[in-house]
Structure 1
Amino acid sequence: MEITFQLNGKKITRSIESDTILLDLLRELKCYSVKRGCETSNCGLCTVFVNEKPILSCSTIAARVNGAEVVTLEGLQDEAKAFGAYVADEGAEQCGFCNPGFMMNAIAMFRENPDPTDDEIREYLSGNLCRCSGYEGQLRGIKAYLAYKKGEVQNHVTQ
């Protein structure tokens, strides 16, 4: 079957098998930020935006994105760079394997809720598995970035 979709702003037309998983198609298209983790929809490593909503690409049949707009972390470099500096500054980056999915979900949260409480942040990111940290560094990084975006503090991170 043939599908056509926008990937990070570029039109893509591909012939795929009916059972092709979106994660596999995206990696084939060199979107290496999309990672295979648990393969049970529990870790968040494969998160991408489809029509501006975060979805898990490991549990999505690629045919479902026909006619859709798909954005991976490769398509959000400016937004991700600004936020990522705050995460790194708080020491939350350790091995970095979970970062792409974490960044995608955090960016989705920023867009949907620009002023979340700590509990809302924890709830929103609960589907992101990180084995290196206790999530406190990520929470501090998110809070510092949000404070900067609101103008409450100056940018203390060198980019």
Structure 2
Amino acid sequence: MVEVRIRVNGVEEVLDVEPRVSLLDTLREHLGMTGTKKGCDQGACGACTVLADGERINSCLALAVQYDGRSITTIEGIDHPLQEAFVRHDGLQCGYCTPGQICSAIAMLDEHARGAPSAVTEPAATAAPELTGEEIRERMSGNLCRCGAYNGIAEAIAEVAAR
């Protein structure tokens, strides 16, 4: 066992975990943070997306010991206009992917504001590109939705980005 100190949703946690335990399993099984979902457990679906020091990560691919001394934000620690926008734009159906979608969208909006390019960003762009539907879809492509609520998700993100 290894002692790991992580700040989860603003609360300092000290845990004894096996070095091979994922951050996802640590959040869910050791801390009861079940809002973060286990989808594929292979980093392909994005259901487990959380924020590590403000950056989005797939917590199923991260070992808890890697995040010793870092700050993790799960859906339980988020109060953001995106949550209401998802409801207004019908950006969820079953809701399973929604925590990961929201965490990813929050980080994506920050990445965009900082001018980080995506695969569809025009090469000549010197400032943050316009956040078009194509930009949003590319930047959110790591998060899957079985129900197909992609249009509502993109509309919710666009609404919040326009504010």
TM-score (norm 1): 0.85
State whether structure 2 residue 162 is matched by structure 1 residue 139: no
- 2:77 pairs with one of 75, 78, 88: 75
For 2:70 and 2:85, the matched residues in 1 are separated by 31
For 1:125 and 1:10, the matched residues in 2 are separated by 28
For 1:24 and 1:119, the matched residues in 2 are separated by 33
Report the Cα offset of residue 123 of structure 1: 1.0
Count of residues in Structure 1 that have an aligned counterpart in Structure 2: 145
Correspondence for 1:125? 140
Determine if contact 2:38/2:48 at 8 Å carries over to the other structure.
yes
Determine if contact 1:33/1:72 at 8 Å carries over to the other structure.
yes
- 1:66 pairs with one of 65, 68, 75: 68
Equivalent position amino acid for 1:122 in 2? R
Q: How does 1:6-155 map to 2 (within 5 A)?
A: 6-28=7-29, 29-76=31-78, 78-79=79-80, 82-114=81-113, 116-133=131-148, 135-147=150-162, 149=163
Equivalent position amino acid for 1:14 in 2? L
Report the Cα offset of residue 68 of structure 1: 0.8
Q: Deviations over 1:15-65 (max 9, x none)?
A: 111111110100120111111001111100001111211111101111001
Determine if contact 2:90/2:149 at 8 Å carries over to the other structure.
no
Could you say which structure has the higher helix fraction? 1
Report the Cα offset of residue 108 of structure 1: 0.6
Q: Where has structure 1 moved over 6 Å in runs of 4 or more?
A: none
Report the Cα offset of residue 145 of structure 1: 2.4
Aligned residues: percent identity? Answer: 38
